[in-house]
Amino acid sequence: MKQKAYVAGVGMTSFGKHLDRTLKSLAGEAITQALTDAGLDEKELEAAYMGNAAASLITGQVCVPGQVVLRELGIGGIPVVNVENACATASTAFQQASSMITAGVYDVVLAVGMEKLYHPDKQRTFDVFKGAVDVDKYDQVLAQVAEDIRNAGVEPNLEGAGQSRSVFMDIYVTWAVEHMKRYGTTQRQFAAVSAKNSYHGSLNPRAQFRTELSVEEVLAAREIAWPLTLPMCSPIGDGAAAVVLVSPRKAREIGIEGKGVQVASSVLASGWDYKDGNAPGLVETIARQAYEEAGIGPEDLSCIEVHDASAPSEILYYEHLGLCPRGEGGRLVEEGHTRLGGTIPVNTSGGLLRKGHPIGATGLAQIAELTEQLRGRAGERQVEGARVALAENGGGYIGRDSAAIVVSVLTR
């Protein structure tokens, strides 16, 4: 369904370790910023889609996290939908809010992603990620990961998986070694992703890590699970992001129709069991749908935010999104094409690798970054002449693919 919603306002906290702040405090900051940016009063909100993935394990808040946050701000009397969809939680809230406006149900809708992942007991945090696979088949997941790594010619080492590191890092290892075996991609090319994103993150005042790293420094860092070193793995984080979406009618009323940031497409889908390993996968499939609905192709994109939960992930997404042929993602980053000033800058925010990854907030943080790019307000990390942007945000893992993916296209 072609979307007909405008981004009227965005807000976002800094991402990082906020042990002294509550979920209500973080979300409230982002919501207040978004409403102020939109020039709208909270009384004009007609519905809210409130994304959170981990509060039940980290803070103990269950069932009504969205209502709890909004009531603290004096917002009530409207439909509040709590959204949980793994790392695609916030982008799902965005897609649902935009679709309801497109369907003509509402004129002004709030979409929020909020998360606290830091906890004195680190096992609670790791348990969040363990819960993003089929828990009834957890041992089978680890066995399959080990088999995939072994089939790529690498001896698996799953010691610590799910206990001293997120189990998803081991899943990303399978993606990495399979790509290395099939296409000759190198560890140095993975490191080039982390180095590039560290440069972008150094320009982002809301990023969790702002130190720029060289390729050599990334390669020399502590190994997590070969070929991944620490800077190749996204850190957890606490934070929130919010977007106020409006209908064309409301856009006319507030003076942004035709010159504001518009949602051209936003597609949500879940994975499936593949029978043909060479057939287009989940990201490729819905990216094509998002391009078609927006009436564009990958060649029209000005900038992109992708779900770089690991450095190899970003390289794979280059290929899935059609930025280059299969197998050429490593070359694309190594030659500087995805860096600021390159042909198609990717993760100008610093990405998950440097901005951080509070999973329930990540998708809307991408939308906030791209909105600032399209408005020409991204400061030192501005992409010159940005007109069309894409966000890809995925979450969970079932079978051999993500459990949920959202691809959204924004235009100005």
**What are the tens digits of pLDDT across the range 348-381?**
999 999 999 999 999 999 999 999 999 999 999 9
For residue range 158-169, list pLDDT tens digits in order. Answer: 988 888 899 999
Q: What is the mean pLDDT of residues 120-131?
A: 93
Name beta bridge partners: 113: 51, 241
Query: What's this model's pTM, rounded to 2 decimal places?
Result: 0.97
pLDDT per position as a tens digit, 268-324? 999 988 777 677 889 999 999 999 999 999 999 999 999 999 999 999 999 999 999
Q: Per-residue pLDDT for 51 more than 70?
A: yes
Residue with tokens 């998803």: 168
User: What is the rounded average pLDDT of the residues 240-251?
Assistant: 98
Cβ 112 vs Cβ 368: under 8 Å = no
HEC per residue, the chain: CCCCEEEEEEEECCCECCCCCCHHHHHHHHHHHHHHHHCCCHHHCCEEEEECCCHHHHCCCCCCHHHHHHHHCCCCCCCEEEECECECHHHHHHHHHHHHHHCCCCCEEEEEEEECCCCCCHHHHHHHHHCCCCHHHHHHHHHHHHHHHHHCCCCCCCCCECCCECHHHHHHHHHHHHHHHHHCCCHHHHHHHHHHHHHHHHCCCCCCCCCCCCHHHHHHCCEEECCEEHHHECCECEEEEEEEEECHHHHHHHCCCCCCEEEEEEEEEECCCCCCCCCCCHHHHHHHHHHHHHCCCHHHCCEEECCCCEHHHHHHHHHHCCCCCCCCHHHHHHCCCCCCCCCCCECCCCHHHHHCECCCCHHHHHHHHHHHHHHCCCHHHCCCCCCEEEEEEEEEEECCEEEEEEEEEEEC
pLDDT in tens, 98-116: 999 999 999 999 999 999 9
**Looking at residue 194, what is its pLDDT?**
98
| pLDDT recorded at residue 160 | 86
Round to whole Å and give the CA distance between 406 and 56.
23
| Sheet of 261-270, strands arranged across | 80-83, 47-51, 108-115, 239-246, 5-12, 261-270, 401-411, 388-398, 303-305
**Domains of the chain: which residue ranges?**
5-120+236-411
Instruction: Kindly state the average pLDDT of the residues 240-268.
Output: 96
Q: Does position 3 have pLDDT exceeding 90, yes or no?
A: yes
Strand partners, 391: 305, 408
Instruction: Reply yes or no on whether the pLDDT at 40 is more than 80.
Output: yes
Residue 352 has what pLDDT? 98
Closest Cα partner for 388 from 263, 221, 222?
Answer: 263
Does pLDDT of 399 surpass 90? no
pLDDT in tens, 324-335: 999 999 999 999
Cβ–Cβ < 8 Å for 246, 252: no
Query: What residues are annotated to the active site?
Result: 87, 357
Going by their DSSP bridges, the two strands 239-246 and 5-12 should be labelled as: antiparallel
Q: Regarding the domain with residue range 5-120+236-411, which homologous superfamily does it belong to in the CATH classification?
A: Thiolase/Chalcone synthase (3.40.47.10)
Of residues 339 and 258, more confidence is placed in: 339
77, 44 contact by CB (below 8 A): no
Q: What is the pLDDT of residue 277?
A: 66
pLDDT in the model for residue 258? 85
Confidence band (pLDDT; 50, 70, 90) for 77? very high
The separation between CA 198 and the C-alpha centre of its own chain, rounded to angstroms, equals 17
> pLDDT per residue over 198-219, tens digit each?
999 999 999 999 999 999 999 9
Average pLDDT, the chain: 96
